[in-house]
Structure 1
Amino acid sequence: MGEEVHGPLAQTPTPSAGMQKIVTKHSFFCLKGKWKRGRHVVVVRIRSDRMCPQKFVFTVGVVAFTIAITLGGQVLADRFELANGETIEGTLLNPNERPRRVWLVRSSDGTSLQFDADAVTHVTRETPVQKEFHKIVSEYPDTIEGQWKLAEWCQEKKLEKERHDILEHMLELDPDHVEARRLLGYSRIDGKWHKREQLMAERGYSRYRGTWKTAQEIELSDRAEQTEVAQKNWIVRLKKLRMLVDKPQSSDSAAKEIREISDRHAVGALMLGISKEPAFRVRSWYLESLSRIATQEAFSAIVQIAIDHPDPETRLSATERLIVLGPHQAASYAVASLASEDSARINRAAEVLGRLGVSSAVDSLVNVLITVHTAVVSDGNSEGSTNATFTPSGGGLSMGGGAKRIKVESKNEAVLAALVKLTSVNFEWNPTAWRSWMATRQSPADCDFRRD
């Protein structure tokens, strides 16, 4: 095979064509992406260049676990992953060659190495700190103490991969090194070392985006992410359709597509559209699609529109949709809104309940026929108009600067109108009379209180 050389290749005799050298090295080297400490062999086959007989091209052949070429005592800068699974290091001489025909690599003493284009699968250009690591790695002895100091240096320089490989090498020197085991994620259980990944896997957990989750949690997380993406896509899509509505050549087809939306992921986009759309005609299309989707989320959205949209015509249109979809279910949503701190919202909810015609809401309406709020007003020494903040509970507010808190009784007109419509009687602003009348009816909560 040739003579064994224990020094830089530059110290060997002048090469000749067909000559083969074996270089034995003892150093920290890279094997399949991991740094290893040990003895490795590099076989260098030399052939003459056809174009220049005096120029020699060195082609590297890997023997055993040959990889890092450390000629002249200097580790090279670029890492080349070969098709056979091994890795070598050197400096790429022809980085801009397009298309790639050959890989030309040069060592520190000027030796050229050549590879066919398909012999190299990946090239990694190293950072300055990685180059520094290669220069100083041989300065640390292959002992627990030396390798521990090298691992600490890597941590300081944020070389996580190199540090991990060094810690694993430490376990080859001392399998029970507690700190190295801990840093590599091991736990000692019943006298044996186990990696956390193994323990968590046995408990049904998998690593997922930096945390440990069960298969069910991962599935739910993925599903939630897919839902979020679909919802965002609908926002974009609906905006495009809305723009097409304003173009004569596409108006009819865009309107038809909007009115036929049935994807549950479109609910948020439709709600957003209704809140911003200036044209009632288009808002009615969005409502039509929400009614078609008919999921719990879509139904809740229509109730919210019926109560809270600033346009009375849109609120009425939404309420009419609710009458068709399910008035009793809608009434339960509207009754919950009667607990609002805003008296205006209480009255809007009452309007919806009156139109839904669900008598089970009568008791709840009586409770908010007259509401007492706390108003905060300025005294005579303060400038400006009176400002008031209302809370149905009548709870006080702490104010400085001479402000006063007073009790304000609010008679809710829409609540009375809804009671009269649902019962066909009118006890006006007398809650006691309303409750007495209800008691005499001795009817189920969902009966029709109107006179026969």
Structure 2
Amino acid sequence: MFPEHFLPSSRLALSVPLLFTLILSQQTSGHCDLIKLKAGGEIRGKLQKLPSESGEARIIETLTGGKITVDAQQIEFITNRPLSVEEYESRSKSIADTVDAHLELANWCSENHLISQRHAELEKVLLLEPDHSKARAALGYTNRDGEWMTRDELMRKNGYIKYKGRYVSTAELELLEKNEADLAEERKWFKKVKLWLSLMNSNNAQLQQEGLKNIQSINDPFAVSALARLMGKHENYLIRSLLVTTLSQITGDKPLRPLAELALSDPVQAIRESALQALSRRDVSQAIVYFIEALKNSSNLIVQRAGKGLEVIGDKSVVPELISALVTTHTYRVRVPDTTTTYSFGTNGTFGNTGVVLPPDIEAGLLAGRYPNGVIVLPSQQPKIPMRTISVKHNHQNEAVLSALQEITQQNFGYNQRLWQLWWSSTQNKAGIIPVVQ
């Protein structure tokens, strides 16, 4: 016989359906424990201490005062969260999907110091009213020439990136990272690499071989800057392939950035893959930052490549960034008839309220993120009508990012970011990790 509230494996499967969730019904302070069940539900409350011999069950006192004993084999993981987070989730499920309701909940989140949840509610406001100025301002957007941009986006658009808390140009960044002696050594290599590339481009076979042989023999880290600048964007893919080979034989951290850039942005798949393999054979702790930054790229294509790169690198420290990038929103510029004020991108390839249907190849390209700068769709065989360019947002589920998470963690919660975050919290919060007998 089992104790009155004990739920063994067989009975639990019958008594607890896929949605076994106890809703927060009273306000208390502090934290509470959350048990994630393998069957799909959740139990919230306070775990009770058990005798050491009671290793096959966990007793949890729910937020309403009742006690439930759960077979440990039915537990996916256990974590500990602030009660304010529990209350937020209860509130978010019950409010109306209106601008005012989401704004009110965003203000509540601010009062309770729930930063990411406040951000999520403000984003929901923008889904309902894209030009809501207060929500935009709260999220750090600025309206420039009719387009909303964050400060980082605005500065990047003007050619600046953030370095140690301030914005600098890419040229200034290089100077900040190098001293004068290093720059002098690098300048010497610019002259040499430029000369050898010109030899490779000559009509004399002997000179071509001389130039090729000299570049293939480079192993000095100070040559990396010249190699990357003169060969990284070369129109001849064979030159870019040679760059990967040459960088691969240079020791140290200097080759990491150009290899990462090739792995993320080169148009030739074979070059991207060879650059990624070259990185995987190194200590890439310094290169990870480039792939993490690429997870936030405006092009979904780059986001997917970053996910693939992080899967190959296999460093578990990037799990939080991968979770955040499971679903990303991207904006596309599309030319449409100027007949209405509201447009939305539907899963069936149409723009809401317009009757405009995208050609199948264009629709597929948008969904796959192959048009990072948008696409202009002109109607065929129709009378001339006023046209305008609009911004259309689309949420992408990033398969490569999910694959990276599955490979690195050996877990699979699909595209459910919340479950991933709960699981990750359970592995990181030492006080919240509860041994579970499998």
TM over 0.5, shorter chain: no
Structure-1-length-normalised TM-score: 0.41
Q: Using CA pairs below 8 Å that are at least 6 residues apart, which structure has the higher relative contact order?
A: 2
With the length of structure 2 as denominator, give the TM-score of the two structures: 0.42
